[in-house]
Copies of this chain bind each other. A is one copy, B any other.
Amino acid sequence: MALGKDYESQRDCTMARGLELVGERWTMLILRDCFYGVRRYSDFFVHLGLPRAVLSERLANLCEQGVLEKRRYQDAPPREEYVLTEMGEAFWPVLAALGAWTTKFAWEPGRRYRTFLHDPCETRLVAYAHCPSCDRAVPAAEVRIVPGPDLPDQPATDPVSVALRRGPKRLLEPLIVTPGGSGAR
Which positions in A face B, CB cutoff 8 Å? 1-4, 7, 9-19, 21, 23-25, 28-29, 32-33, 35-40, 43, 46-49, 65-66, 84, 87, 89-108, 110-134, 137-140, 142-151, 153, 155, 158-161, 164, 169-175, 177, 185
Contact = CB atoms under 8 A, between A and B. Distances in A.
Contacts of A142: 118-120
A97 B140 contact: no
8 contacts: A21-B106, A47-B160, A93-B101, A114-B146, A116-B145, A116-B171, A123-B134, A127-B129
A101 B39 CA distance: 22
B174 A37 contact: yes
A61 B28 CA distance: 21
A171 to B, nearest CB: 5
Given A21-B106, A125-B130, 19 more contacts: A1-B2, A2-B25, A3-B23, A9-B48, A14-B113, A15-B98, A18-B98, A84-B172, A89-B140, A89-B172, A93-B97, A96-B129, A100-B129, A112-B151, A115-B148, A116-B144, A117-B146, A127-B128, A128-B128
Contacts of A47: 9, 158, 160-161
